[in-house]
Structure 1
Amino acid sequence: MWNRPRFDLKVRLTLRVAAITAACFAAISAYFLIAADRDAHARIDGIAAIVAKSLELQQGKIQWLPGPRSDFPNLDPVAAYVMTPGLCLAFRGASGEMLQRFCSGAPAPASPPPQAFAAFYRSLFDPGREAARPVTVRGAKLGEIVVSVDPAVRTAEAWHDAGRLTIALAIALPLLCLLVYAALARALRPTRLICTGLERIAANDLTARLPPFDLAELSAIRDGFNHLAESLDNALAERSELTRKLIALQDDERRHLARELHDEFGQSLAAIRALASSARHTAAQDCPALLSECDGIARTATGMMETLRGALFRLRPPDVEELGLVASLEGLVAGWNGRSRGETRFTIQFDGAFETLPAAISANLYRIVQEALTNAAKHAGATKVGVQLTMAGEEIALAIDDDGRPGDASSKSGMGLLGMRERVAALRGRMSFDVGPNGGSALRVVIPLAATEPPVLEHAA
């Protein structure tokens, strides 16, 4: 199984979209606050201009009409039209004294702004800034109109506008994240097929292929994946063919060596035994003291012939194609039980019909079992060795367990294990050699019965 990333790609992209969206909302909020501040200043500037113009008209009317001028400035007529909550109108005389001032009250806000927002807003803007317009009549400045808004009212209005944007953000952001996550999950669903294909490739299943994808980027990955899998499959097929040829050449060399040993050494040992028997017959008549030496030569020759028979059996086993795999393996196990003289007990079990196996699979399975039994008995020092051969579906499973030394270096890295791996690779199978559940060693081999067409992974809807 592949190591999973610490952060899911969909979650990471969704968080980035959320961060960008929040930044956009913040920028929009800042824009609205700036625009509202400009509109507020423009409004009080406009009010100051209107009031100043009204006072200029008042002064002009007073000059043209007879009567006292004590009612100037009179802000009452214009205040009724321009006053808003928190607005203050004032007339500052030419000498700087405040001659008249009107301020409208402001109701307490339903939700007062937080102190942090009020401090932040006042640090960026000037909600209490005054707008002043001079009142001039015939070139003489009589004073100026001063218009201002209560800073608390401006801050409350800004918080009201910002609060609406905050509510909109609180509603829209989770919904947007959910929609983005769903869209990304759908768009990235084919990555599961890619991961599955990579896991099959890692498990030496080079028949895995990816289907076409809608996205151009994933289609490029699919083309590269399928090309890589096909190239590896072809390379493995060429390697398997070369391995099969090498194994066939090795078997031919073994048969040739077996013939040479049988013809040369076998006849020589038979001749030695015959000469020892003749010498013993002569010694019995002329020199009885040599009888023991003649018997020793005969025993040595007999032991060498027994050893030679075992070597010939390992070099050239019974014809598996004629006897069948089951009979050949039963004979192999029986031979090991006979040679071990009770020191090691060998058992074998079969599950399935092995009569129709191809000759190449049968011969290689026999060699694998033969080498595994040799490793278990001679190198691992096992006292119990169990062989189980099972045919299920389109695969053959071989399991060999022993109670020997699992850490034995010669059994794990020797030429015997290498030969078994080569035979399994030639059959496009899988092999593992590990410590058994109850100690000892556990050899597992899985061999497909026949090659199949490369399957295509189903496209996820």
Structure 2
Amino acid sequence: MWNRERFDLKVRLTLRVAAISAACFAAISAYFLVTTDRAAHARIDGIAAIVAKTLELQQGKVLWTASPRSDFPNLDPVSAYVMTPGLCLAFRGPGGDMLQRFCSGAPVAEDPPPQIFTAFYRGLFDPGREAARPVILRGTKLGDAVVSVDPAVQTAEAWHEAGRLMLALTIALPLLCVLVYAALARALRPTRMIRSGLEQIAAGDLTARLPPFDLAELSAVRDVFNHLAESLDTALAERAELTRKLIALQDEERRHLARELHDEFGQSLAAIRALASSARQTAAQDCPSLLGECDGIARTATGMMETLRGALFRLRPPDVEELGLVASLEGLVAGWNGRSRGETRYTIRFDGTFETLPATISANIYRIVQEALTNAAKHAGATRVNLELAMHADEIALAIDDDGRSHDPAAKSGMGLLGMRERVAALRGRLSFEAGPNGGSALRVVIPLATATPHALEHAA
């Protein structure tokens, strides 16, 4: 519903300015055309009035002198003063007949108006319209003085007055659009910085800040942006600190549980196995029929001790700080290869040097890999699991790929993935778990080293 076509802001504003400018230009041109038409009609109305007055004086002179010879109407005297190219003077008698008509020829225009302008002007203003004034003497109407202008001449005059202005405005409009676009591009140049800052925020870089801007509106956006980025940074830092404390508490609980299992349950299993061995010796002498039961008790106790040893290993991993991250992960992978008995093949590859990595980061990476391998073994049903750990200048990248089931809901919503997300969030890193390009699942973890300071990680593991 909201997928409307997008336009560049500069283009949209330029088009709006162009539309408003075009409307203004059209209004100015229309004003000049109307003014020119009114001036033309006012001029011929004035000429008609002069011609009518002149004819009245002519007839009055005839009556005053009582001359038997009358040359009324005579338009020659007045034509010498008012005649212009394309102008027609005429006298129309009371019966409507033209008694005399005198017209000057229309000059050949060197720059005739365009046909589209001629058609537009003639359709809108009706050039060539007559102006008539009555000739009255002693209350008697003798006829009408009629004045008109050749439509072609009036159209040419209108084009000369207003058409050239329209042409100039037509040429000026694209130039104005270019200038407006350039001005908007310069004024909106800071929007690229705002977009870049938003992209940094979206990528997880909450250190992005915007510089001061000249425009008040953009300065307001800058203030809100910087305040929001600072608030998000503070909120995520507090969340990461809380997550680190929760992880530290969880690991302490695991260590406590591992000690309790080792000290209490482990000793009990060892005692059961010792008692089963003693009972077997006694049964061998007194009751040989109980040897099978004694061996079964010993085997059960041995199996439970192996299960307990695996649980203790997962609850309390080896000292990563003492062995090193590489050796610890290689041991972890070797253990999974041994327990899988060839059903699943686990491989690991390292790229870079990890000796200088802080112990807290090493411990968390070990836990993340441990949870990932457990997920792959429990939910994916994979036959191949590949791990790659790479050290870069400012981050550590972990990639785990398998060929198992990629759409198992348990693998995406289980406690193992939740624990990995918590640890990655505590290190201000990024985690993604998606279907692999060739089937299976792909886990990607990126941990930045810039934020992994000892102060920030003192409770992480």
Q: TM-score, normalised on structure 1?
A: 0.91
Corresponding residue of 1:349: 349
Shift of 1:242: 0.3
Corresponding residue of 2:8: 8
Corresponding residue of 1:405: 405
Report the AA paired with residue 72 of structure 2. Answer: F
Call closer, same or farther: CA 1:105–1:126 in 2, change over 3 Å: same
Distance in 2 between residues matched to 1:404 and 1:126, nearest whole Å:
86
Report the AA paired with residue 194 of structure 1. Answer: I
Call closer, same or farther: CA 1:366–1:345 in 2, change over 3 Å: same
Please tell me whether the aligned partners of residues 45 and 132 of structure 1 are also in contact (alpha carbons under 8 angstroms).
yes
Report the AA paired with residue 90 of structure 1. Answer: A
Report the AA paired with residue 393 of structure 2. Answer: G
Corresponding residue of 2:423: 423
| Correspondence 1:43-442 to 2 at 5 A | 43-63=43-63, 67-94=67-94, 96-107=96-107, 111=112, 114=115, 120-137=120-137, 141-159=141-159, 161-442=161-442
Distance in 1 between residues matched to 2:381 and 2:239, nearest whole Å:
34
Corresponding residue SS for 1:85 = coil
Report the AA paired with residue 433 of structure 2. Answer: F
Distance in 2 between residues matched to 1:452 and 1:416, nearest whole Å:
23
Shift of 1:15: 1.1
Shift of 1:378: 2.3
Corresponding residue SS for 2:437 = coil
Shift of 1:25: 1.4
Shift of 1:51: 2.1
Distance in 1 between residues matched to 2:112 and 2:296, nearest whole Å:
117
Please tell me whether the aligned partners of residues 427 and 452 of structure 2 are also in contact (alpha carbons under 8 angstroms).
no
Deviation digits for residues 215-264 of structure 1 (CA, Å, limit 9, x no counterpart): 11111111101111111110000000000000000000000000010011
Call closer, same or farther: CA 1:148–1:452 in 2, change over 3 Å: farther
Q: How many residues align?
A: 450
Call closer, same or farther: CA 1:170–1:121 in 2, change over 3 Å: closer
Distance in 2 between residues matched to 1:332 and 1:7, nearest whole Å:
55
Corresponding residue of 2:34: 34
Shift of 1:436: 1.8
Distance in 2 between residues matched to 1:377 and 1:214, nearest whole Å:
59
Q: After the TM superposition, which of the residue ranges 384-393 and 266-275 deviates more from structure 2?
A: 384-393
Please tell me whether the aligned partners of residues 52 and 134 of structure 1 are also in contact (alpha carbons under 8 angstroms).
yes
Deviation digits for residues 360-399 of structure 1 (CA, Å, limit 9, x no counterpart): 2111111001111111122212222221111111111111
Distance in 2 between residues matched to 1:5 and 1:221, nearest whole Å:
25
Corresponding residue of 1:444: 444
Shift of 1:65: 5.2
Call closer, same or farther: CA 1:96–1:346 in 2, change over 3 Å: closer
Call closer, same or farther: CA 1:242–1:191 in 2, change over 3 Å: same
Report the AA paired with residue 13 of structure 2. Answer: L
Corresponding residue SS for 2:100 = strand
Please tell me whether the aligned partners of residues 113 and 156 of structure 1 are also in contact (alpha carbons under 8 angstroms).
no
Deviation digits for residues 309-356 of structure 1 (CA, Å, limit 9, x no counterpart): 010011001111222212211221122122222222222222222122
Distance in 2 between residues matched to 1:177 and 1:356, nearest whole Å:
61
Distance in 1 between residues matched to 2:346 and 2:72, nearest whole Å:
127
Distance in 1 between residues matched to 2:169 and 2:212, nearest whole Å:
39
Please tell me whether the aligned partners of residues 429 and 447 of structure 1 are also in contact (alpha carbons under 8 angstroms).
yes
Report the AA paired with residue 403 of structure 1. Answer: D
Distance in 2 between residues matched to 1:22 and 1:340, nearest whole Å:
79
Corresponding residue SS for 1:400 = strand
Corresponding residue SS for 1:386 = strand
Percent of paired sites with the same residue: 84
Shift of 1:67: 4.8
Query: Which stretches in structure 2 are left out of the alignment for 5+ residues?
Result: 454-461
Corresponding residue SS for 2:346 = strand
Distance in 2 between residues matched to 1:67 and 1:378, nearest whole Å:
135
Distance in 2 between residues matched to 1:452 and 1:111, nearest whole Å:
82
Distance in 2 between residues matched to 1:410 and 1:452, nearest whole Å:
31
Report the AA paired with residue 258 of structure 1. Answer: A
Report the AA paired with residue 402 of structure 1. Answer: D
Q: After the TM superposition, which of the residue ranges 20-29 and 254-263 deviates more from structure 2?
A: 20-29
Shift of 1:426: 0.3
Report the AA paired with residue 220 of structure 2. Answer: A
Shift of 1:111: 4.0
Shift of 1:92: 2.6
Please tell me whether the aligned partners of residues 55 and 74 of structure 2 are also in contact (alpha carbons under 8 angstroms).
yes
Corresponding residue of 1:456: none
Distance in 2 between residues matched to 1:4 and 1:64, nearest whole Å:
87
Shift of 1:119: 5.7
Q: TM-score, normalised on structure 2?
A: 0.91
Distance in 2 between residues matched to 1:52 and 1:191, nearest whole Å:
72
Corresponding residue of 1:458: none
Call closer, same or farther: CA 1:379–1:396 in 2, change over 3 Å: same
Corresponding residue SS for 2:450 = coil
Report the AA paired with residue 312 of structure 1. Answer: L
